[in-house]
């Protein structure tokens, strides 16, 4: 005969608010709702929290309160996965109306290490969807998460894979390395509010912005960025990408680098700006500004 701990070596969570103060594996046994503050606070290292397909929600009135899952102080080896975090924030007629949680998942300390968030749906945050505090710690990883209606950032982490963030008030996807993601910000006033932003690598992504860049990175490949008033897509080494700006400065911006086999559009303006343009094409009536043009670049 096996003991219960041998059969299910995890700790059930059935009520909130809760502060986890011991290492181990925890799982929700049902939906949890709080009226104010944090729902679950992780105050120990070496913790795995499995939402088990259930929903953590907040009914806090405007301007919102607390975090769905909060990491307290410096945390190490924490995994949060598999469920939903729900707030009350909505976006109607160009305006966010806040309520519920401030953030879905929040880490406040850049000295934390080995944080992983995966397979979450986050809806209606008064501030950020998933914010791991910085994009420069390589072990801050977010995978396969969906974010909608967040008045701040959608997702901020170092490595972001297979995620989407839609209707955000700041950058939708902001990381160091970003793979197979889609981000759309509705910010109309900030040039730093990008659809997808990567400090280094951006691959196979789609970004949409209003005033900021649709998509930007250093090494950008197989991606598409569009912006109404800003740059469609920007990078240093850009390969097989498309950048479109409706009425901004540039369709595709590789000012100090190389754009290879790319497509760009900015009707009546500069569609493509690059030091080297190799095998690129222009959609519409925009022009190309590049000291070096080869392989058919107009």
Asked if residues 238 and 229 have their Cβ atoms less than 8 Å apart, the reply is no
pLDDT at residue 7, rounded to an integer: 52
Residue with token string 């041998």: 6
Asked if residues 17 and 40 have their Cβ atoms less than 8 Å apart, the reply is yes
Asked if residues 169 and 188 have their Cβ atoms less than 8 Å apart, the reply is no
Cα(214)–Cα(185) distance, integer angstroms: 9
pLDDT, average across residues 26-33: 98
pLDDT at residue 160, rounded to an integer: 98
Rg of the chain's alpha carbons, rounded to an integer? Answer: 21
Asked if residues 125 and 150 have their Cβ atoms less than 8 Å apart, the reply is yes
pLDDT at residue 134, rounded to an integer: 80
How far does the chain reach from its first CA to its final CA, in angstroms? 76
Q: Which residues pair with 276 in a beta bridge?
A: 258, 292
Helix H or strand E segment including 5: helix 4-7
Residue with token string 């095998």: 279
Residue with token string 């009546």: 268
3-state secondary structure of 112: coil
**Does position 4 have pLDDT exceeding 80, yes or no?**
no
Asked if residues 94 and 64 have their Cβ atoms less than 8 Å apart, the reply is no
Mind listing the pLDDT tens digit for each residue in 217-239? 999 999 999 999 999 999 999 99
Q: Could you give the percent of the chain with pLDDT greater than 90?
A: 93
3-state secondary structure of 108: coil
Cα(20)–Cα(3) distance, integer angstroms: 23
Helix H or strand E segment including 6: helix 4-7
pLDDT class of 33 with cuts at 50, 70, 90: very high
Asked if residues 55 and 69 have their Cβ atoms less than 8 Å apart, the reply is no
Q: Which residues pair with 142 in a beta bridge?
A: 117, 160
Mind listing the pLDDT tens digit for each residue in 246-297? 998 899 999 999 999 999 999 999 999 999 999 999 999 999 999 999 999 9
Cα(248)–Cα(257) distance, integer angstroms: 20
Q: Could you give the percent of the chain with pLDDT greater than 70?
A: 97
The CA-based angle 217-283-236, given to 5 degrees, is 20
Report the mean per-residue pLDDT for the chain: 95
pLDDT at residue 189, rounded to an integer: 87
Asked if residues 85 and 40 have their Cβ atoms less than 8 Å apart, the reply is no
Cα(110)–Cα(41) distance, integer angstroms: 17
Mind listing the pLDDT tens digit for each residue in 154-182? 999 999 999 999 999 999 999 999 999 99
pLDDT, average across residues 23-27: 97
pLDDT class of 137 with cuts at 50, 70, 90: confident
pLDDT, average across residues 198-219: 97
Residue with token string 């397909």: 53
* 3-12, 26-35, 121-130, 202-211, range with the lowest pLDDT: 3-12
**Does position 133 have pLDDT exceeding 90, yes or no?**
no
**Does position 2 have pLDDT exceeding 60, yes or no?**
no
3-state secondary structure of 176: strand
Separation in Å, CA 197 to CA 7, 44, 272: 44, 31, 19
Full DSSP string of 207-245: EEESSS-SEE-SEEES-EEEESSS-SEE-SEEES-EEEE
Max Cα–Cα distance, the chain, nearest Å: 77
**Does position 3 have pLDDT exceeding 90, yes or no?**
no
């Amino acid at each position: 005969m096996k003991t219960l701990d041998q059969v299910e070596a995890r700790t059930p969570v059935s009520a909130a608010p809760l502060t986890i103060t011991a290492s181990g594996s925890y799982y929700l046994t049902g939906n949890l709702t709080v009226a104010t503050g944090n729902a679950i606070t992780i105050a120990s290292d070496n913790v795995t929290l499995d939402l088990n397909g259930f929903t953590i929600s907040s009914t806090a009135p405007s301007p919102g309160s607390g975090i769905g899952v909060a990491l307290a102080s410096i945390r190490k080896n924490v995994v949060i996965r598999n469920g939903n975090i729900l707030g009350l924030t909505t976006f109607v007629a160009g305006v966010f109306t806040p309520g519920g949680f401030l953030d879905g998942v929040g880490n406040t300390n850049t000295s934390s290490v080995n944080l992983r968030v995966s397979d979450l749906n986050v809806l209606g945050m008064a501030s950020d969807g998933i914010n791991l505090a910085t994009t420069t710690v390589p072990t801050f990883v977010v995978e396969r998460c969906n974010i909608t209606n967040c008045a701040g950032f959608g997702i901020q982490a170092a490595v972001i894979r297979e995620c989407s963030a839609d209707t955000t008030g700041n950058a939708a996807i902001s990381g160091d390395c970003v793979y197979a993601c889609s981000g759309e910000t509705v910010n109309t006033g900030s040039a730093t509010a990008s659809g997808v932003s990567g400090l280094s690598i951006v691959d196979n992504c789609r970004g949409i912005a209003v005033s900021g860049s649709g998509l930007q990175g250093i090494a950008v490949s197989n991606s598409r960025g569009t912006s109404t008033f800003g740059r469609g897509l920007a990078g240093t080494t850009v390969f097989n990408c498309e950048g479109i700006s409706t009425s901004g400065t540039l369709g595709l911006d590789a000012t100090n680098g190389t754009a290879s086999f790319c497509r760009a559009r900015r009707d009546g303006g500069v569609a493509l700006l690059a030091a080297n343009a190799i095998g690129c094409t222009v959609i519409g009536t925009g022009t190309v500004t590049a000291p070096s043009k080869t392989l058919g670049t107009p």
